[in-house]
Amino acid sequence: MAKRKRSRGAPLRRSCGAMAAHMMLLERFPSFRASQMRLEGATSRRRDTGLDLKKARVRVLKTVVNVVYKADAHNISDAQIKSQIKALNKDFRATNPDRTRTPAPWKGLVTDSRIQFKLVKVTRTKTTRNAFSFDDGVKKAATGGIAPFNPKTHVNIWVCALTGGLLGYAQFPGGPASTDGVVINSQAFGSNGTAQAPFNKGRTATHEVGHYLNLRHIWGDTPDCSGSDVVADTPNCAGPNFGTPTWPVVTCNNGPSGDMFMNYMDYTDDAAMFMFSTQQVLRMRTALETTRSGLM
């Protein structure tokens, strides 16, 4: 079979707009800031009491995919959408085969979140917009997109063209319902169709849904060693890793194991990320028990 040519303008390295969108919401909505603070308090208490994941109920989240396209070629197929849901379920249930590549020091941290996704609705919207940004334009009919479907009870994922090499972004828990959900570049969605290597294993959605469930980037979004992802079992690191690094990558005096660059919340290529840690799962489960309890 002939190798498919890479589309012009396809992103070459990971770029996520979640934190830019997050800061914008913190400035615009005091209620969002207060909700985030309450959630952090609940997460801290959950860390103190612990979480027995072996006894935790599997949570199935009803999921809506909103396809927004200008060119018919970007009106992605049902097969491509199903490939993304399949990837999400493997990654969040830690049944992805590549999890076995986790370095020995962290193999015991690879954790099944006991979260699954069930596709219940697909919407398709023709737009006049060439592409969207992280300003939530794709989530509003007035700006060429479509409003979320029942965002308090459904995970909404928009698939569209994004500007500036952006692969995706998500809204953290507690923000306005009118813009709640996850946005993914159609070139990084699922594993076939318009998906382009090195982002064609569905991991962009895994990364962004992580944000949607209150996970931060593992380096804490600072260009040095001063940041934190508020997760105890992910080593402090100096910044994002790109591409497919060779382990170990040591920064911030975190040797000998170095950065956990194979974590879904780093910036590596799809083929190089394949795990959530135990404490990351605790954060996501706490978000589902509290701010995002309507999803259950």
Taking alpha carbons only, the member of 212, 211, 190 closest to residue 270 is 190
d(CA 195, CA 7): 10
Taking alpha carbons only, the member of 5, 270, 17, 271 closest to residue 131 is 17
Taking alpha carbons only, the member of 217, 248, 202 closest to residue 82 is 202
Q: Which of 27, 40, 208, 289 is labelled catalytic?
A: 208
For residues 61 and 116, is the Cβ–Cβ distance under 8 A?
Answer: yes
Instruction: Tell how far CA 287 is from the center of its chain.
Output: 14
H-helix or E-strand spanning residue 141: none
d(CA 138, CA 160): 8
Longest CA–CA span in the chain (Å) reads 54
Please confirm, yes or no, whether 208 is among the known catalytic residues: yes
Instruction: Tell how far CA 168 is from the center of its chain.
Output: 8
> Torsion angle, CA of 80/133/145/120, rounded to 10 degrees?
40
d(CA 221, CA 97): 29
d(CA 129, CA 134): 14
For residues 186 and 161, is the Cβ–Cβ distance under 8 A?
Answer: yes
> Which letter does DSSP use for residue 16 in this model?
B
Q: Which residues are catalytic?
A: 208
